[in-house]
């Protein structure tokens, strides 16, 4: 069985391997010992905090195979971005150049540098190792965050965003960044990406063009990738779109990958989730449907994906002994759950 739990210091070696495997462009997991250890420390502080509103708390979870003890994936939430460091995007807009006298009317796409998402909650750091891909593991890592946020709504913004990795090749070359590099930055994409990952964002404000960029002045290659995602990111984007996320014109300032957003109360899994006390009955649970299930703790959070059933008459959730043990709960404790497959 796979469980999802808060990361801890002993997971550092696994997190480092995941950071290496995730590759260039996965900014939230830089291959840097000091920063990865700091990320774990921040997450431990977040899970032990008593937050009553969104702040600079970070929640980083890992998926662990309980049979082998191996950490096979990560998934994370930043409660409020831009609180300590500036949070930059480009917003895609339009300007009109028109002359009534000459009967000329041209609409031009522009990119405007902005901080519009300051203070919102970001889901991030979703990565599943090669050996664990398959089945519902990827979906589990993604959807567990919505259950956690729904259970502890006071800790998070109503607006939830996700930055999707943009187009780059195996060597880390980004067509969008190459144009910016030639005209403004004089550093390659892997370097800029790494500096951002380690929290060095001052250079962005110092070197980024201060005025809107006319898209038709960019190279054809750069124009073609604006709002497009990396091949490896397409499944993650599709998952979020199924949940109700959409792009509202914001893209990453380095690779032009789209940022998608949704209101927490409108996210499909969060909206469909229920909270009930449990009874433990292996036979009844086995006859039920597959669900994503979390306990209601923050510090001792656990999540599983397994069969369970609901007794409408008694208003209880029926789970197995194995599931109860994995969740660290007893009969009478409450769980929050949502179905793995929706019945449309």
Residue 324 CA to its chain's centroid (Å): 27
Across the range 94-107, mean pLDDT stands at 90
| Residue 212 and residue 232 share a domain | yes
**pTM for the whole structure:** 0.90
Examine the pLDDT at 198 and tell me if it is beyond 70.
no
Task: Verify that 142 and 12 share a domain, yes or no.
Answer: yes
Number of domains in the chain: 2
Beta-carbon neighbour count of residue 24 at 10 Å?
20
Confidence of residue 344 (pLDDT cuts 50, 70, 90): low
Residue 84 to residues 45, 78, 87, 104: CA-CA distances in angstroms? 16, 12, 9, 46
CATH no. for residue 289?
2.40.40.20
* From 152, 230, 266, 291, the catalytic residue: 230
Let me know if 50 is a catalytic residue. no
Q: Do 36 and 81 fall within a single domain?
A: yes
Query: Does residue 98 sit within a domain?
Result: no
Compute the average pLDDT of residues 104-125: 94
Q: What is the mean pLDDT of residues 120-129?
A: 93
- Provide mean pLDDT across the span 298-306: 97
Please state the rounded mean pLDDT for residues 43-70.
95
pLDDT at 179: 87
Q: How far is CA 32 from CA 6, 85, 123, in A?
A: 20, 19, 21
* Residue closest to 180 by CA, chosen among 94, 108, 252: 252
**167 and 244 share a domain?**
yes
Single out the residue of 316, 298, 300 nearest to residue 308, CA to CA: 316
- Could you report the per-residue pLDDT of 227-268, keeping only the tens digit for each? 999 988 898 899 999 999 999 999 998 889 999 999 999 999
Q: What domain range is 293 assigned to?
A: 273-339
256 and 299, same structural domain?
Answer: no
In a domain, 325, yes or no: yes
For residue 269, the surrounding DSSP H or E stretch is helix 268-272
E strands, the chain, are 2-6, 58-65, 71-78, 89-99, 104-114, 121-128, 159-163, 213-214, 246-251, 258-263, 274-280, 289-295, 303-311, 316-319, 334-339
**How many CB atoms neighbour CB 341 within 10 A?**
10
Distance CA 56, CA 27 (A): 18
pLDDT tens for 145-196 read 999 999 999 999 999 999 998 998 877 788 998 888 888 777 776 777 666 6
pLDDT computed for residue 29 by the predictor: 81
Per the domain annotation, does 291 fall within a domain? yes
pLDDT digits 0-9 by tens, 309-322: 998 888 999 999 99
Position 233 in a domain:
yes
CATH number of the domain that residue 56 is part of:
3.40.630.30
Mean pLDDT to the nearest integer, 287-304? 97
């Amino acid at each position: 069985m796979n469980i999802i739990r808060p990361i801890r210091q002993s997971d550092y070696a696994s997190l480092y391997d995941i950071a290496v495997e995730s590759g260039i462009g996965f900014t939230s997991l830089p291959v840097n010992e000091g920063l990865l250890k700091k990320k774990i420390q921040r997450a431990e502080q977040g899970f032990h905090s008593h937050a009553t509103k969104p702040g600079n708390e970070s929640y980083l979870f890992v998926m662990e195979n309980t049979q082998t003890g191996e950490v096979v994936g990560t998934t994370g939430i930043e409660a409020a971005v831009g609180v300590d460091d500036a949070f930059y995007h480009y917003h895609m807009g339009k300007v009109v150049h028109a002359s009534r006298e000459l009967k000329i009317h041209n609409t031009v796409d522009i990119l405007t540098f902005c901080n519009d998402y300051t203070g919102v909650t970001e889901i991030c750091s979703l990565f599943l190792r090669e050996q664990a891909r398959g089945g519902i593991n990827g979906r589990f890592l993604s959807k567990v965050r919505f259950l956690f946020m729904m259970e502890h709504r006071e800790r998070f913004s109503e607006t939830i965003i996700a930055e999707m990795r943009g187009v780059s090749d195996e060597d880390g070359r980004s067509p969008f960044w190459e144009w910016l590099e030639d005209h403004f930055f004089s550093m390659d994409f892997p370097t800029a990406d790494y500096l951002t990952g380690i929290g060095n964002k001052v250079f962005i404000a110092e070197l980024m063009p201060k005025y809107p960029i006319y898209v038709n002045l960019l190279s054809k290659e750069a124009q073609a990738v604006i709002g497009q995602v990396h091949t490896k990111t397409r499944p993650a984007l599709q998952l979020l779109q199924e949940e109700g996320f959409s792009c509202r014109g914001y893209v990453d300032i380095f690779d032009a990958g789209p940022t998608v957003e949704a209101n927490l109360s409108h996210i499909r899994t969060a909206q469909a989730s229920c909270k009930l006390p449990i009874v433990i009955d292996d036979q009844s649970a086995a006859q039920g449907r597959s669900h994503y299930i979390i306990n209601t703790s923050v510090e001792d959070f656990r999540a599983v994906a397994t069969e369970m059933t609901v007794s409408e008459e008694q208003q209880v959730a029926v789970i197995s002994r194995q599931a109860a043990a994995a969740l660290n709960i007893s009969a009478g404790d409450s769980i929050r759950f949502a179905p793995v497959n929706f019945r449309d």
